[in-house]
Amino acid sequence: MKKKILITGGAGFIGSHVVKLFVKSYPDYEIYNLDKLTYAGNLKNLTEIENEQNYHFIKGDIQDKDFLTTIFEEKGITDVIHLAAESHVDRSISGPMEFIITNIVGTANLLEVARSSWKNESNHIFYHISTDEVYGSLGDEGFFLEDTSYDPRSPYSASKASSDHLVRAYFHTYNLPVKISNCSNNYGSHQFPEKLIPLVINNIKNNKALPVYGTGENVRDWLWVEDHARAIDAIFHKGELGETYNIGGWNEWTNIDLVRKMCQIMDEKLGRTPGTNEQLITFVTDRAGHDMRYAIDATKIKDELGWIPSLEFEEGLEKTIDWYLSNEDWIENVTSGDYQKYYDEHYS
């Protein structure tokens, strides 16, 4: 049976890297990219593969169950890699309902349509990509494991936790062939500049304030997005059904140390006097329910599937900064809304 994979959220940051990897690596697969094209979805993320014969873009919303049913029937979808989600914590605090509807109801729609379409047939995979934020907050020691109890602290993480539980429930109740992964913070090219690393790069370049929550001591584990895409590939093809895999970069940094490191790198790249960019750092009121520390133990995926990160964080950070400094037109595009014009010109 030829694989016809529906990748949801494939025009977004992580999704676009996954789509590009699968289109290039598996020419015998038909890859269908379903994306609503919200502010964080941008088809210019995919220009290098948009004309490949095995790539197909579909504009649509996972909140529309009838639309999903039509896609499964018309395209003969055999597998799902589900990345579509509202993902920014701050936005979930100011407007939680969109997160609840997209992340929970949208996932339930996909599960129901897959269950109905596949009718307990074998050789299908429903792969759900989630976040380490479902586990809550760690203290100074320890790591998140695949069996760590869930303790979400924001509307975003609660919505992702709920979707994880739904996916597992469909495995146990209906024998739907599922896989789940929970990843740490991603960084790399093509990330919408509301997230920390591209925000800092863009603000430094434009001599704007660098907002840091609280005292900046919150710790995050950073994963290069292309390594994450490789991990998704490994789990999709070699992971066990019903299993969860944690994906992390073994790169813990406090927010303030990360921002200072970026300031130093960009002082050099922009030809500024050392210490110039650090003067832009501005401490702001801490985020409500701000988790103190995330850290993933990625031993399971390493031992069982042979995946390890390919880059040290400092190397990945330099690559990321270089990409944003060399692609100012991309940042201008995504922050100005020109992606809608691009869609109209290429796909309507």
Residues catalogued as catalytic? 132-133, 156
Say if residues 219 and 292 touch (Cβ distance below 8 Å): yes
β-bridge partners, 82 = 8, 128
Q: Are 205 and 272 in contact (CB under 8 A)?
A: no
Dihedral angle computed from the Cα positions of residues 98, 104, 107 and 112, in that order, rounded to the nearest 10 degrees = -120
* Structure token digits, residue 172: 């146990």
How many Å is the Cα radius of gyration of the chain? 20
Can you tell me which residue has the tokens 């739907």? 176
Residue 86 near residue 98, CB atoms below 8 Å: yes
Q: Taking a C-beta distance cutoff of 8 angstroms, is the pair 13, 35 a contact?
A: no
Do residues 175 and 119 lie in contact, with contact meaning Cβ atoms separated by under 8 Å? no
Phi–psi pair at 222, nearest 5 degrees: -105, 135
| CA-to-CA dists, residue 219 to 14, 282, 293, angstroms | 21, 18, 4
Contacts of 20 (CB under 8 A, 6+ apart): 46, 48, 49, 229
Place of tokens 């509301």: 194
Count Cβ atoms below 10 Å from residue 141 Cβ, excluding itself: 7
Angle at 274 between CA 315 and CA 187, to 5 degrees: 30
- Span between the terminal Cα atoms of the chain, in Å: 31
